[in-house]
Structure formats: structure tokens, C-alpha cells
Amino acid sequence: MSSKINQIRVQNRYLKWLLFTLVLTVLLVAATLLSLTTGEAKIDLSNLISVLRQQDSIEYYILTQIRIPRILLAFATGGALSLSGALLQGIFRNPLVEPYTLGISGGAALGVAFTIVLGLHLTLGIYILPLSGFIGALLTIFIVGVLGFLRGNSDINKMLLIGVMISFIASSIMMLLMSITTANNLHGIIFWIMGSLDEPNKNLIYTCLAAAIAGLLISYLFARPLNALLLGEEKANYLGINSKATIRILFITSSLLTGICVSVAGVIGFVGLVIPHLIRLLVGSDYRFLIVGSFLGGSIFLILSDVIARTIIAPNELPIGVITGILGGVLFIIILNRMRKKSRHV
Amino acid sequence: MSEYLNIDNIVCGYGKEFNLREVSFSIRQGALAGIIGPNGSGKTTLFKGISGYLPLKSGSIFLNNKNLGKLKLNEKAKRVAVVSQFPDNAAISVEDYVLMGRLPYREQFQFFEPRKDIELAEKYMRLTGIHKHRRKQISQLSGGEKQLAALAQALTQEPELLLLDEPTSHLDITHQVQVLNLIQRLNREMNLTVLMIIHDLNLAAEYCHYLIMMKDGALHTKGSPAEVLNYEIIEQVYDTVVVTQNNPLSGKPAVFLVSEDILNDIKARYGEIKR
């Protein structure tokens, strides 16, 4: 009898997850439409479809060559960064970890800075920038991984500290590079660090998109192990979960996702920290929803931030990192306040 | 092998610093057994060796004729449930926490709870009495309630062997007795084999059928409480003067400690203590 009530309660929770997924999907569509229609060239919502039919119009060009690629990139990077944050917070059992805590962005930025200072982008073409960023990110992941968990008795907190230290070292070397290079190069480096969704190369956007979707699918397979890891590595082991393997796979997944996003879109902060917390606060910390919710939430957040970034001082454009930083910071303080009121320990 | 749990010459530990010294013992099905011994004697190391968290360097552990060392993690989790010394602390509800006991039974792509799992979680929440707090977060429970929730989770695993690491260590006597009575009842009514580390010698004597006394990483004495808990063995192992008598109601041994002042007083009056 009471087990039936319980059954209903569990089913109600699935219903709640479904509802939130629908709400987020609707918001995502709304944000996409908003982003499609706002900008220097206003395109009316009612005209959207007819514009998309007129392949020779200027509006058609703006939509397909500028706005849609930006939206796709915002969808992919926002989702992937937020997902990475949720995964890393789970495996490190630390609510303050975000994709950049482990020095991945620092490594990527350093790779790009080296390329710019050496002038490689002038000889090898513009695509060397994302490539060098990705190599920098990979090197960082490799170092953190080798020092952190490949050497036997690994301690997850040690890994975190190593990541933070690598982040510091990378930013110090960056400053060194920036202090000895020309003003022109300096400008290039700073511009890259601030992040931008303006990516002319479609292939890079598709790579991001594919990686983000693949990351989402892989992560979802680990939803239950992630739930068990809430209780710690040892307890998860006793519940039949291979904690070490789960942590390794998810560490590599989230690091690669972050590395790809950073090398294409630059450093876009706060998405990976704020959005997972917001979803936790609204729906709870069950990873079976948190993974999907974080991804969709991150996508929405970044698409909206991009709309603000390119309209607030139009015709000029603010770096997207500025918007996500300010919005995310304020949002995070509000969330923390709420959490204290709910007296939850995350 | 006639016994249910057979620990055969196991060695495990932390690098070169601390290792068990070839510990062997066996327990029959349906026993309630206790591991006792001073701090640093290897109780927890032994426990983690049996639970599988520390890999065995040599020796073997058979449970119901299955070599635990050769089982996959989830197969092991279906047979052995572990309640750790430090209560879990997480921002999840009691019912979700208890349901996690079914994790080892899930298939790879099974993301949602089958009806049976929910019924089992419900059954064991009621059995342990924690169902009253099902909507509360684990982190909001008191120490005793956390222990009950952890027990409910362990039972939901439907194990053959229940391992408990000092289930009463952070509790007052009311909750100590409450938790141990529950363990005793589960042991008796479900014929569940229980092996627990227990610090308190009097509680060990009162509740356990069988005791394993550890000292310096090795097994010192094993046997019934009456066999293990006599003052000579306790004084050898703990290096402390004690007096043992039987509990007038249960007839089980009870251990009394004596303060230094009293001991000196006795020495002054009667000379060196002779038994």
C-alpha cells in the first residue's frame, strides 16, 4: 500500500524531470529565436521563415552565415562547459570546481599565446590558433592526469591542487610572454582570452557540436555512478561502482570537452560553475536529470549572454566572457543566498 | 569448506608501513561476529581487506564458496554490504539514499528504478524505522538516524554478509542499544551473517556470538565472548589492568576498568597485585 505511494512519488519525480526538460527545451527554442531576430539587422519573428526561403537576400546571409553559426557554437560550448562543470563537481565532490579550475583554460591560453608571440599564425594560417589552444589544453590534462591519478595511490584532492597550481604557472608564463611581446601581439592574446563566439570556420563549430553531443551521451551512461560518488569513492565501490574508472573516464571526458570549447571560443567563465548549481537548486542533485539540465541550461545561458554581448553597445560587441562573468557572478551570489536559506549542503 | 565466511591467511595494508600478518578465521552462516582490539591493531585494515577496498597481497576470502577477490565489484556488492564508520553525509533524501542499495543490481542502460527496488527500499526503511524521515536529507539526520539509514541501504543490497565498522561509535547509550538491537534482530530473523568492528568490549560481549581479537596486525585470540574476554587476554592485548565479571542478567562477560589511584591504593595496602 505505502509502497504504491512511494512508487507514485518516484514516478512523480520522473514527471518533474520530464517537465523541467520540456521547460528548458522551450526556453532554448525561445532563446534561439531571440538570438536569430535581434541584432543590427532586425529580422521580424514572423518573417523568419520567408527570409530563410529567399536565398539571395542580405537577411538570409546574416542568418545563415552569422547568426546560426553563433547560436550553434553558443549551444555547443555553453552546454559542454556547463556539463563539464557538473561532472567535475561530482567527481571531485567539491562544489567550487569548474572546468577552468584544473588549468585547462590556462594551458590552452598559453598555447595560443606562444603561437601569437612566435608569429606562427601569420605563416601557418589562422587555424593554428585553435589547434595550439587544444594542444595546450591536452598537455595540461596530460600533466594533471599523470601526476594525479596514473601514479598508483591517487588522491582526488591532490589532483585538484595540482590543477590549480598548473593554472597559476600557466598564467605566470602568459604574463611573461605578454610583457615581452609587441603591442599588436598583446592585443591578439587579450582578445583571444576574453572569448568570442565569432567563429568563421564552420568545421570548428561542427567539431564543437559533435564533441558536445558525444560528451552528453557518454556522461549520461555514468549518471548512476555519479550519484553513487556523492557518497564518496569508497562507498561507491561498496555499491558495486568502479569509482576509479568512473573518475578517470569522466575527468578525461570533461577535460577534452573543455579543451575543445576553449580552443574554439576562448575562455568563457562561470558557465560551468553557475549553471549546474542553479539546476541543483531547482531540481536536486540527481545526475540523471542534472546532466541533461546542466547541458540545456548552459546552452540557454550562453545564447542569451551572446545576445546581450552583441546588442548592449551595438554596433560594437562586448567579449562574451565579460557578460557571462558579470551575469554568472551575480547569479551565483543569489544562488548561494538561496542555498543557505534552504540550509542545503551541496 | 563447511564454514560460510572463510578468511584464509590474508595480508593487506598500506604500502610497507602497516600490513596484516596472515590473518585467518572463519564464521558460520547466521553468526553475529565482532572484531575487537586496541587502536592501531589492524581492525580497520582487516575490515577493508574483507570489504575489498584494500587489495589482498596474499591469502583469500571465500563467502559461501565464492572467492570474493575474483568477483566483479557489482557481483561482490550483491553479496557483501558495508556500513562505514563515518556516516555518509550528502544532500540527498533518505529514500534516494536507501534506493542506492539497489545500484549493484542495475543493468547498464537501466536508468530508472524498477518497482521491485522501490518495494525493497520501502520494506527496509520500515524495518529500520527510518521511513519516518524519508523526505529529509541525509545531512539533516542525527548520528543515530544516519546509522539507521545506512543500515537500511545495506539491507536493500540484500547481502549474504553485512560488514559494519563501529556502528555505535558516535552514539549515546540509547542509540547504541537501539542500533545493536536492530542488528541482533536482523541477524536472528533474516539469518543474516554479520561481522562488525566494535570498540566497546562490553557491547561486544553482550551482542556477539563470536569474537576476533586483533593485536599488532595479527589475530590474537578468537572464540566465544567467554573465551576471549578474560582478564588475562585483555590485559595482554590492551596493556591495561581490568576486572571481568559476568553480567548478572545475560551471564555474558563484562569488563571493568580501574583508575590509577585505586590501583596504587591497592598496591600500597596489599603489595603487587596477584590474581
Contacts of B27 (CB under 8 A, 6+ apart): B3, B4, B5, B33, B193, B195, B210
Distance, C-alpha A103 to centroid of its chain? 14
A346 touches chain B (CB under 8 A): yes
3-state DSSP assignment of residue A101: coil
CB contact under 8 A, A6 and B75: no
Task: Give contacts of B75 with chain A, Cβ < 8 Å.
Answer: 240
What ipTM was predicted for this assembly?
0.89
Among A216, A229, A239, A343, most B C-beta atoms within 10 A, so best to mutate, is A239
d(CA A320, CA A325): 8
Q: Is residue B174 in some structural domain? A: yes
Say whether pLDDT at A345 is over 50: no
**pLDDT single digits (tens) B96-154:** 999 999 999 987 777 778 888 889 999 999 999 999 998 888 988 988 899 999 999 99
* A240/B74 CB distance under 8 A: yes
On whether any CB of chain B is under 8 Å from the CB of A338, the answer is no
pLDDT at residue number B275:
57
Q: Which of A17, A21, A238 to mutate to test the interface with B (most CBs of B within 10 A)?
A: A238
The per-residue pLDDT for range A106-155, each reduced to its tens digit, is 888 888 888 888 877 777 777 788 888 889 988 988 888 887 766 555 67
Residue type, A32: T
| pLDDT at res. A28 | 96
Give the C-alpha separation, B22 to A212, whole Å.
51
Grid coordinates representing B215?
593485536
Contact assignment for A3 to B123 by CB distance below 8 Å: yes
Give the total number of structural domains in chain B: 1
Residue B95 in any domain: the answer is yes
With respect to residue B233, please indicate whether it lies within any of the assigned structural domains: no
CB-based contact (8 Å) between B107 and chain A? no
Beta-carbon separation of B92 and A3 below 8 A: no
C-alpha cell at A112: 595560443
The SS3 assignment for B51 reads helix
* Residue B261 is assigned to a structural domain of this protein: no
Quote the domain boundaries for residue B177. 5-224
Residues of B within 8 A of A235 (CB-CB) are 82, 84, 88
**What's the one-letter identity of residue A31?**
A
CATH number at residue B91: 3.40.50.300
- Which tens digits make up the pLDDT trace of B49-60? 999 888 899 999
Q: Is A151 on the interface with B (CB under 8 A)?
A: no
Q: Which of B75, B175, B166, B184 is nearest to B130 (CA)?
A: B175
Q: Does B273 touch chain A (CB under 8 A)?
A: no
- Tell whether A61 is within 8 A of chain B (Cβ): no
**Least Cα separation, residue B74 to chain A (angstroms):** 4
Span A53-74, average pLDDT: 86
Going along chain A from its start, the domains and CATH numbers come out as: 2-342 (1.10.3470.10)
Confirm or reject contact between B77 and chain A (CB < 8 A): yes
DSSP letter for each residue of A288-340: HHHHHHHHHHHHHHHHHHHHHHHHTTTTS---HHHHHHHHHHHHHHHHHHHHH
Measured between beta carbons, the chain B residues lying within 8 angstroms of A344 are 91, 137, 139
Q: What is the pLDDT of residue A45?
A: 78
A2, A223, A343: residue with CB nearest B122: A2
Chain B residue with the nearest C-alpha to that of A230: B90
Give the E-state strand segments of chain B in sequence order: 5-11, 13-14, 18-19, 23-27, 32-36, 58-63, 66-67, 80-83, 161-165, 193-197, 210-215, 218-223, 242-246, 253-257
Report yes or no: A44 and A59 within 8 Å, Cβ to Cβ: no
DSSP at B169: T
> Chain B within 8 Å of A285 (Cβ-Cβ)?
yes
Q: CB contact, 8 Å: A286 with chain B?
A: yes
> Is residue B124 in a domain?
yes
Q: Which residues of B touch A242 (CB under 8 A)?
A: 73
Rounded CA-CA distance B207/B185 in Å is: 11
Closest residue in chain B to residue A245, using alpha carbons only = B73
| Residue from B178, B101, B121 nearest B147 by CA | B178
In a domain, B209, yes or no: yes
Is position B269 within any domain? no
CA B97 to chain A, closest CA, distance in angstroms equals 9
Phi, psi of A239, rounded to the nearest 5 degrees: -95, 15
Residues forming beta bridges with residue B194, ordered by sequence position: B32, B162
Q: Please list the pLDDT of chain B residue by residue as tens digits (275 residues).
A: 468 999 999 999 887 778 888 999 999 999 999 999 999 899 999 999 999 888 899 999 999 989 998 899 989 999 999 998 887 888 888 989 999 999 999 877 777 788 888 899 999 999 999 999 988 889 889 888 999 999 999 999 999 999 999 988 888 899 899 999 999 999 999 899 999 999 899 999 999 999 999 999 999 999 999 999 988 999 999 988 899 999 999 989 999 998 989 888 888 888 776 65
Contact A85, A276 (CB under 8 A): yes
A contacts of B165 (beta carbons < 8 Å): none
Residue B270 lies in a domain: no
Q: Model pTM greater than 0.80?
A: yes
